[in-house]
Amino acid sequence: MHDRTKTLFIETVGCQMNVLDSELVVGSLRRQGYELVHQPTAADVILFNTCSVRAHAEEKIYSALGRLRRHKRENPDIVLGVLGCMAQKDQEEVRRRAPHVDMVVGTGQLARVPELVEEVKRTREPQYALSLGRADGGKHEVAASFESFDPPRDASMRPTPFQAYVRIQIGCDKFCTYCVVPATRGPEQSRHPDHIVAECRQLAGEGCKEVTLIGQTVNSYKFDHGDGRRSRLSDLISRIHDIAGIERIKFVTNFPKDMTDDLLDAVRELPKAVKYLHVPVQSGCDDVLKRMKRLYTVDGYWEMLHRSREKVPGVAISSDFIVGFCGESDKSFEKTVDLVREARFKNSFIFKYSPRPGTKADDLYPDDIPEELKKRRNNDLLAVQNVNSLEDHKTRIGDTVEVLVEGPSKVGERQSAGVRQLTGRTMTDHIVVFDGHDRLVGQTLKVHIREASPFTLYGVAETGEVGGGGLIPRSAVADPSSQRRSLPLV
């Protein structure tokens, strides 16, 4: 009998690490004969790759699972799986809230997904694959239970085959008091540099031009070779730099205290290194930073900022903030506003504090800032950042910049194929929108900047093949959601 194609749907929320995990899970199921579909109700296997960093992300998934309850009752043969951070954090709780879920697979167990899907189909028994809790064993035992999932890459699984995330580290050992990641992704472990370089070489061979090295605190990357040699992030970037075909090397996300001079020197010296650093500060108030256990002071962060700008002229720096953290007084918040005003970040990702069960902050401090005030502080801080982003963007009008073209812009997606509005990024990670042709996607080209909004630069491509060349009308100005294209890691 002819076997019908097996189909797979996956929904991904959260950071770049999850985006990469989903790409790899889909790749591994495709090798088992699955084909990706875009409607959960059309799929034999429905997967949710989840995020636990804020309550909202979890609620979204539980709602989506709830909506599938009836579909699953009517189609009992399908396989419904919850993967990633929420699986590791909630464990059996996932099936208490959504009993129709068939498998719960943590971040450190994703290699087992194909085998577990088969197991569910064979036995119709719920399957769990979870790593140890941080206090459930010795350091090595816990670390060993979180495996870095790094199967062969599949270019066709990426929205843009010329760009790829490359995992260089898993887990986190910083234990910021508000953060669930050290629990959901386990101890910090760096991958062997030879494996990373080999993966980059393979990606380059398949036409990948830009690699983004990812880790929760990517600049803490260190690999001890066991013979006295140690590889740092700067060493890794230099090695990847030698790979023909790779044009750009990015890395996210950085921890302020680990921004060492050797790394900054590498970013300055190596032409392929993108001149952009995402270094979350979280708050501009020392008392808050202390309660967050961020391990640096505001002065310490300023020292890092000055040193980075001195060592890498023209570098763009962006940050994350949490507003409304426990005990954040008006005065504390004002200090954060002052920092944003003065630090001149390229952009800032701002989040309202969301207490996370199992974290130190949730145990120790009451969530004492009302939601309304969190919202107001979020808006106020964003307004200050937007003034700076617009000023920064305006200084770029008249410049000619090198843009790696990523695809149609939000406006371009609604235009018919051919000549349409495209979007790309500069070597300082600035978003540039311009009119062009589909065949420019994946190319690096020069764009003259003519206009600016707080989120986007508008320009004219220097290709000689695109007609018009006029300015993009105001109505076409990209919305702030274009920020989402570079979600912070965690």
Does 351 bind ligand 5AD (CB under 6 A)? Our answer is yes
Tokens of 267: 């970013």
User: Applying CB under 6 A, does 423 fall inside the site for ligand SF4?
Assistant: no
Q: At its nearest, how many Å lie between ligand SF4 and the CB of residue 370?
A: 24
Name the CA dihedral angle for 88, 91, 94, 96, rounded to a multiple of 10 degrees.
Answer: -170
* Minimum separation from the CB atom of position 295 to ligand SF4 (A): 9
Tell me which of ligand SF4, ligand 5AD, none is bound by residue 182, counting a contact when its beta carbon lies within the kind-specific cut-off of 5 to 8 angstroms.
Answer: ligand SF4
Residue 326 contact among ligand SF4, ligand 5AD, none, beta carbon within 5 to 8 Å by kind: none
Closest distance between ligand SF4 and the C-beta of residue 490, in Å? 5
How are the residues of the chain apportioned to helix, strand and coil, as percentages rounded to the nearest 5? 40, 20, 35
| Beta carbons within 10 angstroms of residue 384's beta carbon | 16
- Nearest distance, CB of residue 283 and ligand 5AD, angstroms: 9
Between 186 and 408, whose beta carbon lies closer to ligand SF4? 186
Give residue 207's region: left, alpha or beta (phi > 0; psi -120 to 50): left
User: C-alpha 159: how far from its chain's center?
Assistant: 15
CA atoms of 324 and 376, how far apart (whole Å):
10
Pick from 353, 434, 455, 458 the residue near ligand 5AD by CB under 6 A.
353
Residue 286 in 3-state DSSP? helix
Question: Cβ distance 51 to 29 under 8 Å?
Answer: no
CA distance 168 to 192: 8
Answer yes or no whether residue 14 interacts with ligand SF4 by CB under 6 A: no
Q: Which stretch binds ligand 5AD (CB under 6 A): 227-235, 309-317, 347-355, 467-475?
A: 347-355
Sign of dihedral through CA atoms 368, 371, 372, 377? positive
Applying CB under 6 A, the span of 94-102, 169-177, 263-271, 296-304 interacting with ligand SF4 comes to 169-177
Nearer to ligand 5AD, 378 or 409 (CB): 378
From 176, 237, 252, 274, residue interacting with ligand SF4 (rule: CB under 6 A)? 176
CB of 328 to ligand SF4, least distance (A): 16
Least Cβ distance, residue 150 to ligand 5AD (angstroms): 23
**282 counts as binding ligand 5AD under rule CB under 6 A:** yes
- C-alpha pair distances (Å), 479 with each of 455, 456, 484: 8, 9, 10
Sole binder of ligand SF4 in the list 24, 78, 179, 211 (CB under 6 A): 179
User: How does 309-326 read in b/e, with b if 16+ C-beta sit within 10 Å?
Assistant: bebbeebbbbbbbbbbbb
Residue 126, interface with ligand 5AD (CB under 6 A)? Answer: no
Under rule CB under 6 A, which residues in 236-255 are in contact with ligand SF4? Answer: 255
Q: Token pair for residue 419? A: 């000549």
Rounded Cα gap, residues 430 and 402, in angstroms? 10
Please tell me the distance from the alpha carbon of residue 340 to that of residue 5, in angstroms, as a whole number: 53
- Residues facing residue 269 across a β-bridge: none
356 binds, among ligand SF4, ligand 5AD, none (CB under 5 to 8 A by kind): ligand 5AD
Q: Binding pattern to ligand SF4, positions 254-293, x when CB under 6 A? A: -x--------------------------------------
For residue 123, how far is the Cα from the chain centroid? 36
Q: Identify whether the C-beta of residue 264 lies closer than 8 Å to the C-beta of residue 311.
A: yes
Show the site string, 470-489: x = touches ligand 5AD by CB under 6 A, - = not. Answer: ------------------x-
Give the DSSP per-residue string, 323-390: ES-TT--HHHHHHHHHHHHHH--S-EEEEE----TTSHHHHHS---S-HHHHHHHHHHHHHHHHHHHH
Residues between 287 and 346 that touch ligand 5AD (CB under 6 A): 320, 322
How many of the chain's residues bind ligand SF4 (CB under 6 A)? 11
CB of 262 to ligand SF4, least distance (A): 20
Q: Judged by CB under 6 A, does residue 174 bind ligand SF4?
A: yes
Q: Rule CB under 6 A: which residues touch ligand 5AD?
A: 53-54, 178-179, 280, 282, 320, 322, 351, 353-354, 356, 488, 490
Q: Rule CB under 6 A: which residues touch ligand SF4?
A: 172, 174-176, 179, 181-182, 216-217, 255, 490
